[in-house]
Structure 1
Amino acid sequence: MARLELGHVLHARARLLGDVKDLADAVDQYEVTALAPAQDIRSRLHCAALWGMGAAELGALERSRTAFDLALSDLVPKLTGRALGRESQEARLRELPSLATVAAAVSIRAGEVQEALVRLEQGRGVLLAQALELRGRHDDLRVTDSGLADRFERVCAELVASHRSPQQRRRSAGDFDSLVEEIRALTNFEHFQRPPAWEKLRDAAAQVRVVVINVSPQGLGRNLHFGEPLPRLWWCPTGVLSLLPLHAALLDQDGAYVQDRVVSSYVPTLGSLLHARSRPAPSPDRASLLTVAVDAAGQAYPRLAALDDELTAASHMPGRRQRLRDTEATPDAVLAALRTHTHAHLACHGVRDPGDPSHSRLLLSGGELTLRQLATERLPNAEFAYLSACHSAAAGEELADEVISVASAFQLCGYRHVIGSLWTVQDAMGPLLARAVYPTSRHRTAPVRRTPCTGRSPSCAPTATATTRCSGRRSSTADRNDETNGGRVMEEDRSLRAAFCAAMSWLDDVMASEGRGDELRSAARAVRAGTTTVRQAIAGLGIPEHVLAGATGTTRGEGGGDPPGLVPHPAGEAYLCPDGWCGLREIRQPGGAVPAGGRCRLRDQPLRVLEA
């Protein structure tokens, strides 16, 4: 410890006086401490990090790479040993700086791009990788030695199980390590349960393009991309970038967005993508769907009026189905049902805890479905989960590189594809998004794309962006239709016209994504010409009336619908119908978005603006 303290003193003096020699001497002290086997793991790892960062600052990249290799290959696995409980593992990881991203940046500076990817896999998603190792298939081992495979899988099940004492965990962890060494002694099994090398990581992009974006104190470095041509693209962001909707980024050169150019998916790590692909998909005749809907979660949360329409959209999937609604959907009942179905659709309120992401949860009847409950499940037949709840795919601000979210917990259980939301979900959007995802007898005959998806899927892109586009554009209104002897008189309530006007922008996006943009525009022309009513128009389009009326901004979770990192603009301007045809009057919402894009889509005229 004396060398560690001396290193701190020298490092502080180097910062104060700008003396490079003091920095070099500090790095020497950190190196000696990091390599000392008698020191405790926390001190060694802390010194390895300071050794690596200090050496990089001095320009000694080879020395820095050696330090990060020690830290990530040897010390981090020891710090988060399997004998520890999940909370203890998370607490230890919180003590560390983001080693993986800094190590990757150093490797990139040294021209070792392949090594950079390996470092990111070693130091990001540590707990996820550890948990996935306990849930993998061992077919090759079973062919070679079925008895050894049975023993190993039994120990894995013990380590996954909940409610085990520290003594039981330590015993199972010791058995696990002994069995791994025994298996590695077999011919062709020397790499068993080792972190994937570059050659294995390259397999993750054998059929798709993967983009890994690294951000660290050393700078952004480079975007690491490899694989086949677009339009399918897998994002693997690091650090704080994992909190942002990269699929919604603006492309400056032409005013389009990323989602206009590629179909985006997200993966926590390349190893998780490899794990998803290692499991065969269930045969179509075994597919079954569990739908869960809870429209109230106590007095603190509003009721969700759109759930029936959303469940109807989900019910078009063929195969055996089970529905748990409201009081039936207790946490125990939902967990039991998840074990017997390949597909799951959960529509309810969700809660995110940015400071302690393992406490994020789904609110069910009489209780909560937590990440820690899900972490003890092993669902070998799980295929697809749709989480229609607020923040279900949002990682925590703490432990951002561990990518801890409800969606990643479902992936950990065994689901190869998971759809979730990055922030709040407007209740009225639920049915529209579900119809875009599930095949329906009316609008779609082809099945949903079955490329393995981990974390957030292609359909997460419309979930995230449509949520922000629809925010604040609902009116609680009704319409009325009067008939006379001369025929139908178009005397609808002006407020329903206002709701239809305000919704045209995001309705156009959603309907166009379904290939039905012309239907919407034809209906709008009929409303404008007075040959049909808004109620008739939306009924013909298959849009539930409450999507326009009665869904006054209800979201599926706690507030805070703005994307993380965005600073709201001041509100104030009022946007009105250009000629008074309807009762549209909307105040510019926090976040600065102009209501309805600033233009009446029915009148094809700019909205009138009254300054605050």
Structure 2
Amino acid sequence: MRRGFASQYIRLEDTSDEGIHLRRVVVELCPLGHQHRPRALDNLARILALRFQQHGSIDDLDTSIQLRREAVSLCPEGHADRACYLNNLALSLTYRFNDQGKPNDLDEAISLYEEGLRLHPVGHQYRDTPLDNLGLALISRFNKRGDIEDITRAISLFREALTLCPPGHPRRDITLNNLALALDTRYRKLDVIEDLNEAIDLYRESLRLKRRDHPERNSSLVNLSASLCSRFTQTRENEDIEEAINLCRESLVALSSLHPGRWFSYRWLKAAYLVRYRVLRNPADLSRAIENFRLASVHPTQGFPNRIQTALHWVTEAENHQHDSSLEAYQMCFELFDSHVMTRSSIISRREAATAFRGAQSLPVDAASCAIRRHNLRQAVELVEQGRGQQWSLASRLRTPLEDLTSASPQLAEKLLGLNMRLSHAQGSAGNANPAAADRAATEYRILTRQWDAAVTEIRDLKAFSRFLLPPSYEDLQAAARQGPVIIFIASQYSCSAIIVPTLGEPHHLPLPSVTLTDLNNLKDRFARAIRHASIMGPKLPRNDLIVLLRTVWEEIMLPIVNVLEHVLELKHGSRIWLCPTAAFTSIPLHAAHPFQTRADRSKEPCLEDLYICSYTPTLSALVRSRQMMKKRITPSFVTIGQGQPGTGKGKALLAVDSELELVHKLVPATANRTTISGDAATRAGALKALEENTWVHLACHGKQDPTQPYNSHFVMRDEHLTLLDIMEKHIPHAEFAFLSACHTAVGDKETPDEVIHLAAGLQFSGFKSVIGTLWEVDDSVAKHVVKAFYENLFDGLEEGGVMDCTKAAWALNRATHAVKTKVPLEQRMVFVHIGV
């Protein structure tokens, strides 16, 4: 990113607390209806925006935007000052886009600049200003979306503006710089050297017009430096790269330690050192580049998007050059992502923030792979856990059990609990609110977040609470393996492998040398095709393609792991194991791995589910959390919820649902409080209430995973959809077990597979410790056979006084799939998976 110079209508002024206070007083003296209120609002907004640029407080910028929205609203079309206030509001929105990365801010800014330009027709004295500002916003959008029309139009706007700023014009240096920036941006897209050469000439002319004390001189220095770096990669002329490095050094000398411009200097200085290292191979240049990566990543005056992009680039270069800083770079990425996502006040906008960076989705597994290559398996487990499931981790912070803290400090526990409740209420979706209301909600949310951070800091000062809510250590995570080993499957571009976390002792690493990330992606695609093909085949026809794929999973993935479980850990057959897949592994039915071959001299070789009772867990922390919540148990109540007749356009009728509900109701022990909700009563509200009021749930209906917005994944009820977001907003700490007899309830989305955002995970997050979900479409006519066998095994013997135990669910599912082999086709037996305790 290089810097363009936006134009403001009013000069920069003092941003001291006293200056801001005086402007607030002026606003109070200009009540609604006062002719000078728009100007008073804009003056205060301008100072707050300037203070944001100096100190980075997003609240200042949000307040600036709110004030400028009001100023624009008070100047309808035809008002003499409307163009001024449109420009200034757009400018503040552009600042926030650069800091927060919200696309809507940029689109709104461009619309405002467009209107401002229409109010400055050809011949207007100040037409160059809206031309410049609109051009800069188009460059930003081009960098975000890559539409060549945006950059082509930006160049045209700047050329027109330059004709309006002949030599001697006070704003000529601004337009020279902006035209150079646009040409340089197009060069990086189209690689036309004439664009780059012209950009360098324009940057030089712009720099000559700036005195040494000019506030934007440092920006011109780094912009010229960046272009000279680009030309050096083409020409290998040493004077270009030497000048580029010296320009960045000159800019750093002139800037204070917390000046926002230092980030640009660090960014382009590391680029210059990297370019020279690639040509001359001097290790000192690589070290200097890494140090500037580090400085740019932590520089506090830049918004998280810029710092995250820098850290991601640091990861790439450290990996490419096998530099010792690679693990530090990964850790920096996780910390920045965590902080960035926490600034978002809604669950949906958090996912948008997490998916906005190309290449970031593979960070958890790549970090783990890096730690494995450094022979640090404990750190590999910690990193893959820290980087995965961040959406759940952030939300879980607001539901942390506070029993231990209550014993140590009741006042702090009460304070944090109150903040948790207020934050949970404030983080609602808020996606449909108008922009002004959304801005106010975001500001209120961040105020609460800072109060929450302060409370957590206070708690960490207590003895025995120093790691309160910090990323878990290996010792913390190993608690997930208390009742059986957890196998983490690492699917990285650098290596594919598995890490077995045992109940005691050190983790075990199993390389999977015959498996690459490309192989895994091909394998999951082949599974998807095979499942679709099986769904249109008759139940009597053989599933040859599925058999081949499951044999591949057995031989290339699971057999090496089974060998370690048997011969190293000496795990007895019939023991529990937990599978924790990442990335491409999340779309492969690992639990169904099978050799599918019979030898003449002995009986059929056992498959994975013959050897062990398999469960899945989204993350190790999720399993630990579910186990902790098992301590509190209440008298069980069981509800069956079914919707076989959804509304018009919501899917075909499910004719077997009612009989399935009757079957389950009969199999549930009479000692449990049993209820059934179906037909007209199975509405969104009715189902939510039933989830909250019961500890055991069986849900039979249509289920749908939304591939583009996973929080909209839902169960189909009679009236409205029961969405994942609805479920997540409920807290049901006494819930125990849920059987989701619906389609696609345990598969995540393609964009962020390691966030594990699906319906089964949502129920686990809300409080259900043990969940059975589905990986693909369920045939309701055969699912009832699995359901019947499952509950018969789960509740066997309970009529004689036994206790309903959700920890037996994985074993009962294992027994059920064996029992229905002659009745249910392969793809419908393996569709059900167990998640949790």
TM-score for the superposition, normalised by structure 2: 0.52
**1:264, 1:562 → 2: CA distance?**
11
One-letter identity of the residue aligned with 1:240: A
1:118 aligned residue (382, 385, 401): 382
Mapping of residues 524-539 of structure 1, within 5 Å: none
Residue 143 of structure 1 aligns to a residue whose secondary structure is: helix
Question: Shift of the alpha carbon at 1:420?
Answer: 0.4
CA shift in 2, pair 1:111/1:304, >3 Å: same
Residue 71 of structure 1 aligns to a residue whose secondary structure is: helix
Alignment-derived partner of residue 668 in structure 2: 317
Alignment-derived partner of residue 722 in structure 2: 369
1:217 aligned residue (486, 493, 501): 493
Residue 806 of structure 2 aligns to a residue whose secondary structure is: coil
Alignment-derived partner of residue 145 in structure 1: 409
1:77 aligned residue (335, 338, 352): 338
Q: Structure 1 residue 437 and structure 2 residue 790: aligned?
A: yes
**1:508, 1:444 → 2: CA distance?**
29
Question: Shift of the alpha carbon at 1:112?
Answer: 0.4
Question: Shift of the alpha carbon at 1:9?
Answer: 8.0
Alignment-derived partner of residue 640 in structure 2: 291
CA shift in 2, pair 1:10/1:380, >3 Å: same
Mapping of residues 134-533 of structure 1, within 5 Å: 134-161=398-425, 162=428, 165-227=441-503, 229-230=571-572, 231-251=575-595, 256-283=606-633, 286-300=635-649, 301-315=651-665, 316-318=667-669, 319-439=672-792, 445=798, 450-451=806-807, 504=822, 506=824
Residue 653 of structure 2 aligns to a residue whose secondary structure is: coil
One-letter identity of the residue aligned with 2:757: I
**2:497, 2:795 → 1: CA distance?**
48
TM-score for the superposition, normalised by structure 1: 0.70
> Does 420-429 or 177-186 show the bigger shift?
177-186
One-letter identity of the residue aligned with 2:381: L
**2:280, 2:495 → 1: CA distance?**
22
Question: Shift of the alpha carbon at 1:56?
Answer: 2.3
**1:157, 1:439 → 2: CA distance?**
41
CA shift in 2, pair 1:39/1:440, >3 Å: closer
**2:364, 2:794 → 1: CA distance?**
48
CA shift in 2, pair 1:437/1:13, >3 Å: farther
CA shift in 2, pair 1:27/1:324, >3 Å: same
One-letter identity of the residue aligned with 2:647: G
Q: Gaps spanning 5+ residues in structure 1: where?
A: 471-502, 514-560, 564-612
Does structure 2 retain, via aligned residues, the 8 Å contact 1:103–1:119? yes
Does structure 2 retain, via aligned residues, the 8 Å contact 1:235–1:267? yes
2:366 aligned residue (66, 81, 102): 102
Question: Shift of the alpha carbon at 1:275?
Answer: 0.5
CA shift in 2, pair 1:461/1:20, >3 Å: farther
CA shift in 2, pair 1:147/1:441, >3 Å: closer
CA shift in 2, pair 1:323/1:449, >3 Å: closer
One-letter identity of the residue aligned with 1:261: L
Alignment-derived partner of residue 39 in structure 1: 302
Residues 316-371 of structure 1: per-residue CA shift (max 9 Å, x gap): 22311221112101111111122111111110001111232122111111010111
**2:628, 2:832 → 1: CA distance?**
37
One-letter identity of the residue aligned with 1:89: R
**1:81, 1:121 → 2: CA distance?**
18
Alignment-derived partner of residue 48 in structure 1: 311
Question: Shift of the alpha carbon at 1:186?
Answer: 1.8
> Greater relative contact order: 1 or 2 (C-alpha under 8 angstroms, separation 6 or more)?
1
One-letter identity of the residue aligned with 1:451: T
The size of the alignment, in residue pairs, is 473
CA shift in 2, pair 1:279/1:103, >3 Å: same
Residues 364-390 of structure 1: per-residue CA shift (max 9 Å, x gap): 110101111112111121111111110
Q: Gaps spanning 5+ residues in structure 2: where?
A: 1-263, 431-440, 504-568, 598-603
CA shift in 2, pair 1:259/1:145, >3 Å: same
**2:794, 2:412 → 1: CA distance?**
49
Residues 159-181 of structure 1: per-residue CA shift (max 9 Å, x gap): 22336732432232222112111
Q: Structure 1 residue 88 and structure 2 residue 439: aligned?
A: no
Does structure 2 retain, via aligned residues, the 8 Å contact 1:273–1:452? no
> Does 105-114 or 272-281 show the bigger shift?
272-281
CA shift in 2, pair 1:403/1:163, >3 Å: closer
CA shift in 2, pair 1:48/1:388, >3 Å: same
Does structure 2 retain, via aligned residues, the 8 Å contact 1:277–1:452? no
> Does 274-283 or 391-400 show the bigger shift?
274-283
Residues 200-240 of structure 1: per-residue CA shift (max 9 Å, x gap): 11122122110001111111144334237253110111112
CA shift in 2, pair 1:325/1:58, >3 Å: same
Does structure 2 retain, via aligned residues, the 8 Å contact 1:10–1:23? yes
CA shift in 2, pair 1:365/1:149, >3 Å: same
Larger radius of gyration: 2
Question: Shift of the alpha carbon at 1:4?
Answer: 3.5
Residue 218 of structure 1 aligns to a residue whose secondary structure is: coil
Alignment-derived partner of residue 599 in structure 1: none
Residue 438 of structure 1 aligns to a residue whose secondary structure is: helix
Question: Shift of the alpha carbon at 1:28?
Answer: 5.3
> Does 193-202 or 254-263 show the bigger shift?
254-263
One-letter identity of the residue aligned with 2:336: L
> Does 6-15 or 80-89 show the bigger shift?
6-15
Does structure 2 retain, via aligned residues, the 8 Å contact 1:391–1:423? yes
Question: Shift of the alpha carbon at 1:40?
Answer: 2.1
CA shift in 2, pair 1:38/1:461, >3 Å: farther
Percent identity, aligned pairs only, is 28
> Does 400-409 or 95-104 show the bigger shift?
95-104
Does structure 2 retain, via aligned residues, the 8 Å contact 1:437–1:448? no
**2:294, 2:713 → 1: CA distance?**
39
**1:9, 1:365 → 2: CA distance?**
62
> Does 192-201 or 297-306 show the bigger shift?
297-306
Residue 193 of structure 1 aligns to a residue whose secondary structure is: coil
Structure ranking higher in helix proportion: 2
Residue 615 of structure 2 aligns to a residue whose secondary structure is: strand
Residues 133-152 of structure 1: per-residue CA shift (max 9 Å, x gap): 22232111111222322221
Residue 614 of structure 2 aligns to a residue whose secondary structure is: strand
Mapping of residues 582-601 of structure 1, within 5 Å: none
One-letter identity of the residue aligned with 1:296: Q
Does structure 2 retain, via aligned residues, the 8 Å contact 1:357–1:398? no
**1:63, 1:34 → 2: CA distance?**
13
One-letter identity of the residue aligned with 2:622: S
